[in-house]
Structure formats: structure tokens, C-alpha cells
């Protein structure tokens, strides 16, 4: 029997609102900080109404690992990319090699930051107000992305052609309430972890 396909944190652009709470949840958990530049997940704005959070996709035969001239990166049995900080000199070859933008430079510590899925319980998923983040395999992600973008286009067309602005505004109000709720929960988590503002 073949090995199970690796699952990584993936975002559905039709649900992602680009709020950045995933980035904040990540740095609060991993860095005990509010400095979102050190988040291991990044929100990418694909257009005015299309956003997507991006993190490490746990590639098979990871190009970032192969590209590192100092052998500072290695991949464990679960596919998680591990970083040996003392070997990293932030040359940037791993960042250049990553096809998904899943690696972040930490110039303060002279190393790179890569999603480790919070040991299977990603905080970014927990605090996403629209449940846009979920586990996916590479095959699932490649099928879902075009369908999601198509859904966004259909939604825009429906709103513009049918004038369904009231539906759009009602949904925005609902989402705003969810964002506020998750933000309060995140603030409580930051207090528990004694997070210090950057």
C-alpha cells in the first residue's frame, strides 16, 4: 500500500477575506509576538475580492531543502521542513527555490521561518473567522483552486448583473461579527502567552 499524501494548510480564496488573523495567530503562537512579518503563513491579495493565505506545502523532495548550500534545512518523516538555525546564514536560496512563497526571512535571528503545522493543530485554522483554511493534499489543492476562482467570478457577476448588493452587504456584516469574535479570542490567547508588542 502506498504512502498517504501529505496534507498542508491551504486556503480557499472564495472564503478568504484577507483579514490577516491567520498571520497574527501564527506569530502569537510561534513567536509570542505581534510582529506579523514573522508569520509562517502570508495573505496574498489575488485581486480586489480574491485573497489567499499561503504556507509551506510540504513538497515531496522539497526544492528548498535541495537549494540550501549549508544544509540548514531538512525534511522529517511527516514532510515538515525543519531549520537548523545555527547553520542558516539567510542566503535566500531556499526562498528563491520555493514555488509557493512559503518561507519567511527572520533577519533578527539570521534564519528562515517555515510552517510546521503547529504539530498538527494549526492556530491559523483555529482563528480563521470564515473557515477558509483547511487541510489539503497537493492534488486537492490543484483541483480546488481553479474552482474557487471561478466561484468568485460567478459571485461578482451575479452581484453586478442582478444588483444583489443587499446580499453582499448582509454577508459582510456577518463576517465582520465573526472577525470581531475571533479577534477577541486571539487577544485572550495573546494574554495567556504573555505576548509582548513588537
- Cell numbers describing residue 167: 446580499
Q: Of all residues in the chain, what percent carry a pLDDT higher than 90?
A: 78
* Dihedral class, residue 46 (left if φ above 0, else alpha if ψ from -120 to 50, else beta): alpha
| Residue 115 near residue 106 (C-beta atoms within 8 A) | no
Q: What is the mean pLDDT of residues 64-85?
A: 97
Q: What is the mean pLDDT of residues 131-153?
A: 93
- As a residue count, the chain comes to 198
Q: What is the mean pLDDT of residues 95-120?
A: 96
Mean of pLDDT over the chain = 92
| Residue 34 near residue 190 (C-beta atoms within 8 A) | yes
Tell me what pLDDT residue 198 has: 55
Determine the Cα–Cα distance for residues 116 and 104; give it in Å rounded to an integer: 13
The pTM of the full predicted model, rounded to 2 decimals, is 0.89
The three-point CA angle 87-88-93 to 5° equals: 130
Between 170 and 29, name the one with better pLDDT: 29
Amino acid at each position: 500500500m502506498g504512502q498517504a499524501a501529505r496534507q498542508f494548510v491551504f486556503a480557499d480564496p472564495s472564503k478568504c477575506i484577507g483579514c490577516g488573523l491567520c498571520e497574527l495567530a501564527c506569530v502569537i503562537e510561534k513567536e509570542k509576538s505581534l510582529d506579523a512579518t514573522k508569520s509562517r503563513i502570508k495573505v496574498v491579495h489575488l485581486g480586489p475580492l480574491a485573497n489567499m493565505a499561503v504556507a509551506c506545502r510540504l513538497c515531496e523532495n522539497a526544492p528548498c531543502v535541495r537549494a540550501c548550500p549549508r544544509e540548514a534545512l531538512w525534511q522529517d518523516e511527516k514532510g515538515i521542513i525543519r531549520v537548523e538555525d545555527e547553520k542558516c546564514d539567510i542566503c535566500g536560496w531556499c526562498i528563491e527555490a520555493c514555488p509557493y512563497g512559503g518561507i519567511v526571512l527572520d533577519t533578527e535571528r539570521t534564519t528562515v521561518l517555515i510552517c510546521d503545522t503547529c504539530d498538527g493543530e494549526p492556530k491559523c485554522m483555529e482563528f480563521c473567522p470564515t473557515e477558509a483554511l483547511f487541510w489539503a493534499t497537493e492534488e486537492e489543492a490543484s483541483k480546488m483552486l481553479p474552482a474557487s476562482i471561478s466561484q468568485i467570478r460567478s459571485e461578482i457577476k451575479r452581484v453586478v448583473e442582478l444588483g444583489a448588493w443587499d446580499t453582499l452587504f448582509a454577508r459582510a456584516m456577518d463576517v465582520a461579527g465573526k472577525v470581531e469574535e475571533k479577534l477577541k479570542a486571539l487577544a485572550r490567547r495573546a494574554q495567556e502567552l504573555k505576548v509582548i508588542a513588537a
